[in-house]
């Protein structure tokens, strides 16, 4: 038995972050930015676009963490890890939308808990009303 995997060998489907839940292509990012809907928090912008019924069900996430705000790759990767983890935990309750979380302002201090709570509150605004 592997210490890093549950006994079944796979994570539960609702807690995974598979490739089909990610925005990967430039035109996918462009369509979300072109929709021009966004929610703002202290450090982030959450751009979103409703998905058509014929598209895959569920929410998808894209991340933009600019080098001009965080020069060190370690810091940029921390933001990405926090965003992916919070998205992964909330994904089963999110409306079917394409989401892009973008760092909009340079954080004065990298407080993991504060940034994670900020990301969680932004994503929480996208939760379906029946969940």
| Alpha-helical regions (H) of 7-111 | 26-35, 73-90
- β-partners of residue 97 are 50
- Give the percent of the chain with pLDDT over 70: 82
Burial class (CB in 10 A: 0-12, 13-18, 19+), 87: buried
Averaged pLDDT score across all residues of the chain: 86
Residue 131, classed as helix, strand or coil, is coil
Would you state the pLDDT for residue 3?
Answer: 44
Ordered by where they begin, the domains of the chain are 19-124 (3.30.230.10)
Nearest-angstrom CA–CA distance, 61 and 46: 10
pLDDT digits (tens, 9 = 90+) for 73-91: 999 999 999 999 999 999 9
Q: What is the pLDDT of residues 5-59, one digit of tens each?
A: 444 444 445 566 788 889 999 999 999 999 999 999 999 999 999 887 666 678 9
Give pLDDT, residue 18. Answer: 84
- Spatial distance between the Cα atoms of 76 and 63, rounded to a whole number of angstroms: 10
Residue with tokens 């450090």: 43
Residue-level pLDDT at 5: 44
∠ Cα 130 48 16 (to 5°) = 65
């Amino acid at each position: 038995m592997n210490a890093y995997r549950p006994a079944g060998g796979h994570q539960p489907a609702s807690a995974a972050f598979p490739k089909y839940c990610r925005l990967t292509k430039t035109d996918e990012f462009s369509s979300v930015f072109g929709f021009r809907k966004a929610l703002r928090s202290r450090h982030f912008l959450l751009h979103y676009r409703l998905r058509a019924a014929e598209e895959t069900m569920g929410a998808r996430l894209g991340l933009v963490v600019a080098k001009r705000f965080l020069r060190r790759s370690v810091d940029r990767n921390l933001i990405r890890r926090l965003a992916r983890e919070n998205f992964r935990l909330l994904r089963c309750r999110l409306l079917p939308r394409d989401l892009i979380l973008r760092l909009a302002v340079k954080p004065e201090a990298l407080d993991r808990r504060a940034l994670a709570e900020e990301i969680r509150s932004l994503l929480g605004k996208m939760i379906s009303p029946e969940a």
